[in-house]
Amino acid sequence: MMTTTTTILKPDQDDREYHVFTLENQLQVLLISDKNVDKSSAALDVNVGHLCDPDDVAGLAHFCEHLLFMGTEKYPVENEYSQFLSSHNGSSNAFTSGDHTNYYFDINSDYLEPILDRFAQFFVCPLFLESCTDREMHAVDSEHKKNIQSDSWRGYQLLKDLSSPNHPFNKFGTGNLETLKDIPLSKGLDIRKVLLEFHAKYYSANIMKLVILGKESIEQLKAWTIEKFSAIENKNIEVPSFPGHPFSDIELEQKILIKPVKESRNLSLFFPCKDHRKDYKVHPLQYISHLVGHEGPGSILSLLKLKGWAQALSAGVSGYGAAGFEFFKITIEMSEVGLGFMDDIVVIVFQYINMIRSLGAVSWIYKECRKINAITFKFKEKSAPSSYTSLLAGNLHIYPPEDILSGPYLMGKFDPEVINKCFDYFDVDKFQMCVQSSAVDPVGWKKAAWYGTEYSVESIGDNLKTRLRSLEPNPDLAIPEENTFIPEIFDVDQVKVEPPVVSPSIIRDTALLRLWHKKDDTFLVPKAYVCFEIKTPLAYENVRYCVLTRLYTELLKDCLAEFSYFAEVAGFSYSLENSTDGILLTAHGCNDKLLTLIKKIVQKMNTFPITESTFKRVKESLKRKMKNWFQESPHSHAMYFISLVTQEKLFTNQQKLEVIDEFTLSDVKEFYRHLLDQFCMEALVHGNVTKAEAIELTDAIITEFKTRPLPTKPLETRIYKLPPGTNIIYQKDVFNPKNVNSAIEFCVQIGSIANVKNRTYLTLISQIGQEPAFDQLRTKEQLGYMVYSGVRKQCEMISYRVIIQSERDPMFLESRIEAFLDTLLTLLINISDEKYKSHQQSLVTKLLEKHKNLYQESSRLWSHVASRYYDFEQNLTDASEIPKISKSDLIEFFKENLSMSSPTRKKVSVQMKSQIQQPMSDIDIESTSLIQKAATLLDDTDLEYFKQTLELSSVPNSIYPVDHWIK
């Protein structure tokens, strides 16, 4: 007997129809009908995760997630699902957490029914093919090794390792080759049999939640759901729960010292607490995190900054918990000075907690939080379909159907009793203290099993215990002031334009300012997006000026923190960054108070009220960020160095580190006056803002700066054009000597991005090749977990690229990419007309995909403004050209531009090689030798000389005379 619920509280802007019902097999389903959607989606969440892994096989739930998609009885071809998605502008993914495994996809809305049939079969009759088992073990192992040098992963697993061994939180959730193969084999276990038993035990319809979003009616979606998902077996199992807490008395009042990979000084306090998700009407822990994590005057962070002890603070529910337990986590990024005052910092944290505990839950603070959450929900816009369905599928386990949308947002009646009871979690003898510091000497420390993390466990110390038990009130701490940034005016001009205007207009064009404006005609929300690019060649004239500009923007953000945090709490966001062209200021939020925020930022930019102690703290933090760049993943370094090879001007972190120490506060104060003395500005104002309001805002900014226009137009960054026949390999060692992964970005330059043929032909090749690249290089050859192929867009240049991160030698990876390109050419030659047209249509659909919210449209508009081509209709142009590309012409384009045998191909690759050598077979050595002989190898010495021989691209120019956009 199916049960049904239909009344769901929605945001004002939500025009979709929702329907919740339960199938006879007890699978609860949320259907969403949106007649305007151009991309459909579905997600299924199983209420089981790695906390249910058997003790002998760590990572089994994660392994199950990987192997589930490798074919079904009805659709036995292992990559049939991914091929179908790729052919119809679709994608899929999945993740495993402590008590959830979540599977989701999106696709062109015309193809929801056939993909639902394929998706459902994974939960009805998966094959778990023996031929795929070993491959997917290696995929899990590669995923784990990708994270081994990540401090966040290392810290998370150490928290688990040091929790009570009697609680399932203690488990290693990701798994690796040792836990999935070696250990089971040593115990005589058949891993596939164990996996089938796990699936048979836990994959039951009654602990699953399904969400489907489509353009069809609720009746049609419901019919498909009944037809396709009713066959999932209901085993009537109990939802797994995890009584007790991972922290017993033994784990409390401990200090865990950790040697991190990156240079960092983080102090974290973990407080064991219950799972309060069912208290969503009150959000008691959100109320406490709002106060503890505040950054305004009187806050913990404000005081720590004043003392020079900390740079940042975060507080709230950790997200590490599961059904029955959670952690409240407070993390403080300490300064070098602050490291010597850790106990004092902990005392200040508890002084603040004692203060708000003694006050009890404060009605006006709660009501302020409630008001902000209500505004956020009221004007909540649509988001990407797959992220939406994935989130809702998980939330169906938490909230009743009527609150499935509003539950995470809306707060009910003020209930001080529920909030005050949560203060009991913050007793001075009920926490664990964790210190990540690169300054410690780990001699004699232990090494964690799965990540090799060096750590030591000790008591927090009698002195700190004594101080915490005799706390005095701190007069420098106070609760926040009332938030004046909470919007009050929500008037919107409710006039839609059909079809919506595609391009913004230039409403002011002078030597000092080019102002673009577009009144929102689609989403009709009281929000706006503004972007101001202050262009000055001084900002990137040399490495010294580059670092001085960065110091200036970092100091400004720190100076603005107490003020801007109120805006952030009220739903606003802003960004202030330096670039090769100058300084970029963006802001987004309700238009009612957005202009106030922008004006305040600009005022601080001009007055720059920075103290010496603030300068030292921020400079130290920036220097640490520069150093930590060298510990990032190898594939991110490969991507960076391709930009270094091909971009006209790009200063390295090493160059910046060589000059940063010499700068004083006086240097920055002197420099910023010159920086802002002359510039030109390009701006975009988009949303619920009139032309008059946009002009008023920019006039206020110009008046504040009192600047002069540049005497000449600044030159845009250009790209080096590789000559025909180029075959360059730039080799570098991976900076982190302990990282087992190597990486490559293989990049083939095609030509000007303004050229329609270059764009459309290459994008179509990328569309056709994306799934085969993943299937061949990752799934079948198991080169690495991180495999990507697609288009690289740079100023005035479009290229094709393949990125792989792997334990294999990067020269071998290069040989496999070349082999794949040969395979891709064969695929293009043999592809059927029907399949070819399907890929064309998929790409057209992707290009014409509607924006889901105001921010997405704003981002598109600004990308075209920033490109200097002002090609706002580029997607429409390309969509009209894609169907005209014949298969034969595409093959000739491929042969000329991408085939290794082409004498005109222009290829450069960056190979980041791990310092941990991996053995290669004779066949691998032979194949890499051929690749190496055909290429020119560059090192750091050769690179600059090589770049001097290259021609630079032209500067981007508007596709029409600028007058075309002046209104």
State both tokens at 77: 């071809």
**CB-based contacts of 613-617 (< 8 A; 24+ apart in sequence):** 613/308, 614/305, 614/555, 614/558, 614/559, 615/555, 615/664, 615/665, 615/668, 616/308, 617/305, 617/308, 617/311, 617/335, 617/337, 617/558
Give the strand pairing for 39-46 and 28-33.
unpaired
d(CA 327, CA 321): 7
CB 13 within 8 A of CB 490: no
d(CA 66, CA 101): 11
DSSP 719: B
d(CA 124, CA 229): 8
Q: What is the mean pLDDT of residues 424-445?
A: 93
CA distances from residue 481 to 420, 560, 566 in whole angstroms, order as listed: 21, 16, 9
Which residues are CB-contacts of 870 (< 8 A; sequence separation ≥ 6)? 503, 864, 958, 959, 960, 962, 965
State both tokens at 647: 């971009």
d(CA 913, CA 911): 6
For residue 80, the one-letter residue type is E
| pLDDT at 500 (0 to 100) | 85
CB 71 within 8 A of CB 80: yes
Please report where in the chains the tokens 């699902």 appear, as a residue: 81
Three-state DSSP at 618 gives helix
d(CA 363, CA 250): 37
- Residue 901, pLDDT > 50, answer yes
Whether omega before 272 lies within 30 degrees of 0, making that bond cis, reads no
Q: How many helices and strands in the chain, by DSSP H and E?
A: 31, 28
For residue 161, the one-letter residue type is D
Half-sphere exposure of 165 (CA within 13 A, CB side): 1
State both tokens at 731: 């080799």
Three-state DSSP at 429 gives coil
| pLDDT at 263 (0 to 100) | 95
d(CA 313, CA 561): 12
pTM of the entire structure?
Answer: 0.94
Which residues are CB-contacts of 839 (< 8 A; sequence separation ≥ 6)? 87, 764, 767, 768, 831
Which residues are CB-contacts of 941 (< 8 A; sequence separation ≥ 6)? none
What does the pLDDT look like over 783-813, one tens digit per residue? 999 999 999 999 899 999 999 999 999 999 9
CA distances from residue 274 to 247, 372, 408 in whole angstroms, order as listed: 12, 26, 17
Please report where in the chains the tokens 């055909």 appear, as a residue: 934
What does the pLDDT look like over 508-562, one tens digit per residue? 999 999 999 999 999 999 999 999 999 999 999 999 999 999 999 999 999 999 9
3-state helix, strand and coil shares in percent for the chain, rounded to the nearest 5: 45, 20, 35
What does the pLDDT look like over 316-335, one tens digit per residue? 999 999 999 999 999 999 99
Half-sphere exposure of 286 (CA within 13 A, CB side): 20
| pLDDT at 1 (0 to 100) | 47
What does the pLDDT look like over 807-848, one tens digit per residue? 999 999 999 999 999 999 999 999 999 999 999 999 999 999
pLDDT averaged over every residue in the chain: 94
CB 418 within 8 A of CB 282: yes
Give the residue among 562, 599, 643 at the shortest CA–CA distance from 303. Answer: 562
Give the residue among 569, 571, 590 at the shortest CA–CA distance from 520. Answer: 590
d(CA 845, CA 861): 19
Which residues are CB-contacts of 801 (< 8 A; sequence separation ≥ 6)? 642, 745, 746, 747, 748, 788, 789, 790, 791, 792
Which residues have a catalytic role annotated? 65
Q: What are the two backbone dihedrals, phi and then psi, of residue 267, each rounded to the nearest 5 degrees?
A: -110, 120
Q: How confident is the model at residue 5 (pLDDT cuts 50, 70, 90)?
A: low
Q: What is the mean pLDDT of residues 450-459?
A: 96
- Residue 925, pLDDT > 80, answer no
The vertex-399 CA angle with 396 and 402, nearest 5°, equals 95
Percentage with pLDDT > 90 across the chain: 90
Residue 796: CB atoms within 10 Å: 23
In 831-905, alpha helices (H) = 833-847, 854-867, 874-881, 887-897
Q: What is the mean pLDDT of residues 569-590?
A: 95
CA distances from residue 251 to 156, 157, 275 in whole angstroms, order as listed: 15, 15, 19
Q: How confident is the model at residue 607 (pLDDT cuts 50, 70, 90)?
A: confident
d(CA 377, CA 520): 20
State both tokens at 668: 């920055």
- Residue 922, pLDDT > 80, answer no
State both tokens at 453: 């993390």
Give the residue among 433, 481, 494 at the shortest CA–CA distance from 458. Answer: 433
| pLDDT at 707 (0 to 100) | 87
DSSP 647: B
d(CA 500, CA 498): 5
Half-sphere exposure of 535 (CA within 13 A, CB side): 21
Three-state DSSP at 559 gives helix
What does the pLDDT look like over 455-508, one tens digit per residue? 999 999 999 999 999 999 999 999 999 999 999 999 998 777 778 899 999 999
CB 792 within 8 A of CB 747: yes
d(CA 177, CA 622): 38
Query: CB-based burial of residue 429 (10 Å sphere; 0-12 exposed, 13-18 middle, 19+ buried)?
Result: exposed
d(CA 75, CA 69): 10
DSSP 780: I
d(CA 547, CA 549): 5
Three-state DSSP at 293 gives coil
Largest CA distance in the chain: 82
Which residues are CB-contacts of 337 (< 8 A; sequence separation ≥ 6)? 308, 309, 617
Q: What is the mean pLDDT of residues 219-237?
A: 97
d(CA 115, CA 72): 13
Which range, of 25-39, 140-154, 361-375, 907-921, averages the lowest pLDDT?
Answer: 907-921
Torsion from C-alpha of 177, 436, 743, 846, nearest 10 degrees = 90
d(CA 490, CA 583): 31
Q: What are the two backbone dihedrals, phi and then psi, of residue 540, each rounded to the nearest 5 degrees?
A: -135, 30
Q: How confident is the model at residue 3 (pLDDT cuts 50, 70, 90)?
A: low
- Residue 2, pLDDT > 80, answer no
d(CA 888, CA 831): 11
d(CA 366, CA 363): 5
Which residues are CB-contacts of 412 (< 8 A; sequence separation ≥ 6)? 281, 282
State both tokens at 334: 């300490």
Q: What is the mean pLDDT of residues 900-907?
A: 96
d(CA 195, CA 191): 6
Give the residue among 398, 408, 369 at the shortest CA–CA distance from 287. Answer: 369
Three-state DSSP at 217 gives coil
What does the pLDDT look like over 401-418, one tens digit per residue? 999 999 999 999 999 999
CB 910 within 8 A of CB 813: no
CA distances from residue 786 to 775, 790, 943 in whole angstroms, order as listed: 12, 13, 27
